[in-house]
Amino acid sequence: MKIDAIKYIFLCFLCFLQVIFFPSSSIAFDHSKWDAFLKEFNHDGFIDYKAAKSRPELLDGYLADLASVSPEELASYRREETMALWINAYHAILVKIVLDHYPVKSVKDIPHFWDKAWYDVAGKSQSLDLIRREELMNRFKDERVHCALSYGSRGGPLLRKEAYLASMLEKQLTVDAICFVNDQARNEILPSKKRVRLCEIFKWSRRDFIVNFGTVDTFKNWTIEEMALLGFMAFYVDTDRKVSFLEGGSFKLQYLDFDWRLAEWQRK
C-alpha cells in the first residue's frame, strides 16, 4: 500500500475516533455567534471589514460571551473544548482589533497589535501573543495550530468559514495542516526544481515542532529544529514524491518573505 493511502486511512481513523468518543452534545461553550459572523463576513478566508464594521452586533456579542466565562468554568472544559475556545477567541480578538482601527492596510500598522492585552477572556486580559504561545502551544503542544491561526494577513493561514468546535476539532486541524502545507502560494515544495521555500511562520515557530517530530539523528547539517519541521512537512505533503524529496534532503531550506497585506475581501 502506498504511503499516501496509509496516511489517508490513518487520518480518517482519527476523525472517526473524534466523532465516537467526543460527540457534539458535549460542547460546553456556544460559538454560534462567531460562526454566524464568519458565514456572513468571511469570503474564502478574506474578511469584509467594511461591512462588518457597520454591523458589529455578532462579534461584540461573542466577545462579551468570552469575557463572561468564569475561570472555574473554563477549567472544567475538556481538552478539545478548551482548545477550540482559545482558537476562536484568538481569531475573534484579531478581527476586532482590525475593526477598531479600520481602515488599515496591514496589521503592522496597528501599534502593539500582538502584545497588547486588548480584550478579556475568562476573567483575564489577553494579547494575541499570549493566547498563541501560552494558551495554545505551550499547553497543547499541537503543531497543527500554526496551520490554523490567522495572522490577519495574506501570507498566513486564511480564516475558516466556520467556528472551531470540540466535536470537529481533530478533523478541522488535520485539514488545516494538509491544506496549508500543500498551499503552493505559501509553501513551495518542488522536487523537480529541488526547491523548498516555506512560509516564514515556520521559521518563527520551528522550535515548536521538536516535541512531536524531533529526532536525535543529524542529517546533511540540518539543525534539530529544521529536522523536526521537515518531518512535520513530510507527514502532511500530498504526494509520495514530495515525501521522498523531503526525506532525501537534497535542497537548501529557504523561507518566503511574509506578505503582511491585510487579508481583506475587496468588493468588485
Show me where the domains of the chain are located. Answer: 3-176, 188-255
Residue 190: pLDDT over 80: yes
- Residue 86's pLDDT band, with cuts at 50, 70 and 90, is very high
Residue 49 contacts residue 98 (beta carbons within 8 Å): yes
Predicted TM-score of the model (pTM): 0.89
The verdict on whether omega for the bond into residue 191 sits within 30 degrees of 0, i.e. cis, is: no
CA dist 201 and 17 (Å) reads 30
Q: Tell me which residue has cell 482558537.
A: 87
- Give the least confident one: 91-105, 143-157, 205-219, 226-240: 205-219
Give which of 222, 171, 228, 169 is closest to 202, Cα–Cα. 228
- Give the least confident one: 7-16, 33-42, 162-171, 209-218: 7-16
Tell me the C-alpha to C-alpha distance, in Å, between residue 60 and each of 33, 34, 66.
9, 9, 10
Residue 88 contacts residue 80 (beta carbons within 8 Å): no
Give which of 233, 242, 226 is closest to 192, Cα–Cα. 242
Instruction: Report residue 180 as a C-alpha cell.
Output: 496549508
- Give the least confident one: 11-15, 25-29, 62-66, 70-74: 11-15
